[in-house]
Each structure stands twice: as structure tokens, then as C-alpha cells.
Amino acid sequence: MVVYAAQMDVAIIGASGYTGAELLRLCADHPSLKVGLATADSQAGTRAADLYPSLAGAYPQLVFGEVDPDGLDGFDLVFLAMPHGQSQALVPQLKGRVGHIVDLAADFRLRDPALYPQWYGSPHACPELLADFVYGLPELDRQPILGAALIAAPGCYVTAATLALAPLVRHSVIGATGVVVDAASGVSGAGRSLRHDTHFATANEDFAAYGLLNHRHTPEIEQATGAQVIFTPHLAPMTRGILATCYARPTATTSTEELIDLLRSAYAGEPFVVVTDGPPSTKSTYGSNCAQLTARYDPRTGWVLVICALDNLVKGASGQALQCANLALGLPETAGLPTVGVYP
């Protein structure tokens, strides 16, 4: 029998966005976490249940507040679910005053501060803190996350590409240059803010590439996989989901069976990675914290193909953050996290 710890107090900063709402949903079913504060400056004073009626059963009286660092003293866990750039201003004020911080943005993911002006358009505000953050992809490197006070949780594109490619790069099965990552995302990946390209009338019945050669997640994919990549994201007319299709050249003779066996070995015992014989789909992961993977070798062209599907708001964002928080807090890694998707 699993014995859970006493309830721990959780704050969610940026709780009115899609990842914040997803954190509220997941925490509602967590046996050890209690949301004591949810802030959202743009929605301060609004009931969470009014903005997201799906949360009414769990949070009938929760009202979004404004961000006040002094009001966060003593919280066991703080999730930062804000747009890129905002965590850099807040973390220096919270460090040492709260138990654990899990940042869902890219503010503390890159180890090299010089990459921020190149890919994000401005220098990092507190580069001295980058080394204090642990990168939060448990399947890649779980040990540093255990008990960590500061965690940078990777997002959806990077998680999908890394789960697909990292085992093959680490075992030198594929070359570390000339890797291609084609990935499609649902519109929720762009967040809740109103934008022309995510309007229903714009995105519906359309499929478009964007961020050609300069998408900001490129250096993070390269850092996490250890491979040089050309990354092309696409916007698909669906609400949730990531499908990453990755292409690489093998370093020696291989086969589909060997590739799938390697992935199964790499993720043996992992509760949130499923290696399949057939091609995975986003619908199979909808609402769950699981990623699904498969691989192929094409002897005709000499290419290796690896595909990963996941829910961009769960394993690609809030579920990943909660998975990391469980490890940091000494809780069962799977607590509060669904392994079964919603279907149809």
C-alpha cells in the first residue's frame, strides 16, 4: 500500500493560462498537493470556475489573485506557468523563500546564457541562476530532479523530439548531425491569448509550418538530444497534441526490430513512455501524461525514422511539471498523473 505524505501547499503563478488550468486539473486529483493560491494578473478577481467551468467541481470558490512574492513565503511548491521572460524577474525574489520552484517556461532551460539573445531576442536577466536549475525531463536524467529546489521543465516540442532521439544518440545508433525534426502541434500550444493565427477561422482546415530555421526551441532540442537538428514546427487544426517525426542517418547497419528493441530497453519501467509496434497518434495520448513512440529503418533510403506522440498540455507541459514536482518532493512519481488518455 502506498502511503502518501501530508498535504503540501501549492501556488500556481499564471494559473489562468492553459498550462495553469491544466495544473489546477491535475492537482485536484493529487493525494498530497493542495492549491492554496492561484494568481493571474490579467484575470485577477475572476473565479477560476467562471473562466474554466470544467474546474467548478474542484475549485468552486477559487479566485485568481495578483502576483505578490511576499505572499508566497512558506509554500512547499510553486509552479510558474507564465510566458517566457517573466520567470526571470520572479525567481530571484522567490529563491530560498519557498520549498521548490518548477518553471514551465524556457527561462532557465538553456545552460548557455549566450543563446538567449540569439534565440529569444534579449539577454538573460539573471544568468547566474541558470546553473542552479535542474532540467526536468525524468526519463532523460531522473537523479538530479530528486529533491531539487529549482527545476526547469521542458515543453512539448522538446520533450517529443528528445524522447524520440536521445536514446539513439546516446547509443551511437544514429549520427549526431543532419537530424531532421518535423513536429505538429495543436493550437493550445500557442496559449490562451487571442492571436490571428490561432483563431478558429484561421487554423481550421489549415496546416501550416512556422518558425522556419529559427524556432526558439531549436537550441534546447540540440542541448537535450546531443544532436544538431533542423527543426520545423507546424500548426495543426486540433486542440491538443504533438506528433514529432524525426529522421536521422544510422551509424551502422540496423533494422526496425533493433531500433524498437533499443527504445523498449531504454524506457523499460518508465511509467509514462509506451513503445508501440504501430505508428502512434495524438488521439492515443489525449489527456494523459504518456508519450507513445515507435521507430523504423528504411533500407531503401538508408534513413532511420522515429515518431513520438504526446499531449502538449500534459506530458508536454503541466503533467511533466507535476511529475518533476513529485520527484522533488519525495512523492510517488506517478501521483496525480493519468496514464490513460481520453478516447474518442
| Residue 92 phi, psi (nearest 5) | -60, -25
Closest listed residue to residue 315, CA positions, set 306, 328, 324:
324
Exposure string over 23-55, b if 16+ CB within 10 A, otherwise e:
bbbbbeebebbebbbbbbeebeeebbbebbeeb
DSSP label of 325: H
**Rounded to whole angstroms, how far apart are CA atoms 292 and 249?**
22
Type of residue at 228: Q
**Rounded to whole angstroms, how far apart are CA atoms 264 and 269?**
9
**Rounded to whole angstroms, how far apart are CA atoms 35 and 128?**
30
C-alpha cell at 295: 521507430
Please tell me which residue in 27, 126, 156, 290 is annotated as part of the active site: 156
C-alpha cell at 139: 526519463
User: How distant, in Å, are the alpha carbons of 218, 315, 329 from that of 232?
Assistant: 9, 20, 36
Active-site residue, 156 included: yes
Name beta bridge partners: 33: 8
Strand order in the sheet with 208-209: 208-209, 229-235, 179-185, 242-248, 303-310, 291-298, 273-275
- Hey, which residues are catalytic here? 156
